[in-house]
């Protein structure tokens, strides 16, 4: 790995009130890299992304961007620093048009990043969004809404894009269409963290892979080199792997 580390977490711990969800998680991602993050329901994948994004309070040194401590920054500061998220459940702005949803991201794009992504480019990537631009966003299908969520995050001009289960609940054909957009996103130099339930999809779309279990990292390695058995063990825990 010659590329410079873009973002890293260090012994990241996170809690919801009394409930501890992350027990010291280490992850790093280099510029332009695609990293998959897998794990069973409740493993803490979304919590990890939310902690990076500043939606959950964490210690400053637990998250570093360009080596700089940024843990505990506000979400809007993270966006300004070049981190964007496609959140779990899409979280679009209901009541606003497709185009206005995208414009909000254009309005708040990370400064000094140029405009690699424009609304025209998003329309080229997902042509249906041009056709539907004046439509209230909540009237789109699930797949189309996911495209808006991805487009919105890209228009923040991120150096690092966090994607939380972008395939969830979508028809296989739509999942394929959305995953086909990943190479053109990383071709832009954008690093991507892909949280994914589908292990096969996660493996094939990524350079490296992390697996979480109950708030801890249980496996990491180059996606092409990890065996099914190793992943199964890390995914379900050693005790379950024999079953």
Partner 1 sequence: MQWLDGLVQGVLLGGLYAQYALGMALMFGVMRVVNITHGDLMILLALVGISLASTFSLGPWSVLVVLVALGGIIGIILQRLILNRVVGADPLPSLIATFGLSIALQNAMLQVWSADTRSLPSDGLAQASFQLGPLFVGVLPVIVLITATVLTAALAATMQYTRFGRSLRAAAADVEAAAMTGIDPKAVYAGATALAVGILGFAAVFQSMRSTVSPADGAFQLIYAFEAVIIGGMGSIWGAFIGAMVLGISQSIGFRIDPGFGILAGHLVFLTILALRPQGILGKG
Ligand X SMILES: Nc1ncnc2c1ncn2[C@@H]1O[C@H](COP(=O)(O)OP(=O)(O)OP(=O)(O)O)[C@@H](O)[C@H]1O
CB of 56 to ligand X, least distance (A): 9
Give residues 202-231 in contact with ligand X (rule: CB under 6 A). none
CB of 185 to ligand X, least distance (A): 22
- Residue 167: helix, strand or coil by DSSP? coil
CB of 158 to Mg ion, least distance (A): 20
3 state SS for 38-79: EECCCCCHHHHHHHHHCCCCCCHHHEEECCEECCCCCHHHHH
Q: Rounded CA gap, 185 and 116, in Å?
A: 10
Q: Rounded CA gap, 190 and 150, in Å?
A: 13
Task: Select 91 or 240, whichever has its Cβ closest to partner 1.
Answer: 91
- Residue 6: helix, strand or coil by DSSP? strand
Residue 1 interacts with partner 1 (CB under 8 A): yes or no = no
Q: Rounded CA gap, 204 and 209, in Å?
A: 10
Query: What x-and-dash track marks residues 66-85 binding partner 1 by CB under 8 A?
Result: --------xxx--xx---xx
**Cα-based torsion angle of the residue sequence 145, 28, 186, 235 in order, rounded to the nearest 10 degrees:** -60
Strands 191-195 and 34-39: parallel
CB of 92 to partner 1, least distance (A): 7
Residues 6+ apart with CB under 8 A from 159: 6, 31, 82, 83, 110, 113, 189, 190, 191
The item of partner 1, ligand X, Mg ion, none sharing an interface with residue 130, based on CB under 5 to 8 Å by kind, is none
Give residues 42-71 in contact with Mg ion (rule: CB under 5 A). 46
Q: Rounded CA gap, 17 and 21, in Å?
A: 10
CB of 56 to Mg ion, least distance (A): 13
Q: Rounded CA gap, 230 and 7, in Å?
A: 26
Token pair of 109 as six digits: 């794009």
CB of 74 to ligand X, least distance (A): 18
Give residues 81-120 in contact with Mg ion (rule: CB under 5 A). 88
CB of 241 to partner 1, least distance (A): 36
Reading phi first (left if > 0) and then psi (alpha if -120 to 50, else beta), residue 154 is in alpha
Give residues 165-224 in contact with partner 1 (rule: CB under 8 A). none
Give residues 8-67 in contact with ligand X (rule: CB under 6 A). 16, 19, 21, 39, 41-47
The item of ligand X, Mg ion, partner 1, none sharing an interface with residue 16, based on CB under 5 to 8 Å by kind, is ligand X
Task: Select 46 or 157, whichever has its Cβ closest to ligand X.
Answer: 46
Query: Which positions lie near ligand X, rule CB under 6 A?
Result: 16, 19, 21, 39, 41-47, 88
Query: Which positions lie near partner 1, rule CB under 8 A?
Result: 53, 55, 74-76, 79-80, 84-85, 87, 91-96, 100-101, 103-105, 107-110, 152-153, 156
């Amino acid at each position: 790995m010659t590329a410079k580390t873009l973002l890293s977490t260090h012994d990241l711990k996170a809690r919801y009130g009394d409930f501890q969800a992350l027990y010291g998680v280490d992850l790093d991602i280099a510029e332009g890299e695609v990293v998959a993050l897998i794990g069973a329901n409740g493993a803490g994948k979304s919590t990890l992304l939310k902690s990076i994004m500043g939606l959950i309070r964490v210690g400053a040194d637990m998250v570093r961007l360009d080596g700089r401590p940024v843990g505990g920054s506000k979400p809007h500061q993270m966006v300004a620093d070049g981190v964007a998220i496609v959140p779990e459940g899409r979280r679009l702005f209901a009541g606003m048009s497709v185009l206005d949803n995208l414009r909000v991201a254009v309005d708040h794009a990370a400064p000094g990043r140029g405009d690699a992504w424009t609304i025209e480019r998003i329309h080229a990537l997902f042509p249906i969004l041009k056709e539907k631009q004046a439509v209230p966003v909540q009237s789109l299908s699930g797949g189309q809404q996911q495209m808006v969520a991805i487009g919105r995050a890209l228009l923040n001009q991120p150096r690092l894009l966090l994607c939380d289960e972008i395939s969830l609940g979508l028809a296989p054909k739509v999942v394929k269409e959305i995953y086909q957009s990943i190479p053109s996103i990383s071709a832009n130099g954008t690093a991507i963290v892909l949280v994914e339930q589908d292990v096969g999809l996660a493996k094939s779309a990524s350079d490296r892979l992390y697996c979480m279990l109950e708030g801890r990292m249980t496996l990491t390695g180059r996606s092409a080199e990890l065996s099914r058995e190793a992943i199964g063990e890390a995914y379900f825990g050693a005790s379950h792997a024999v079953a």
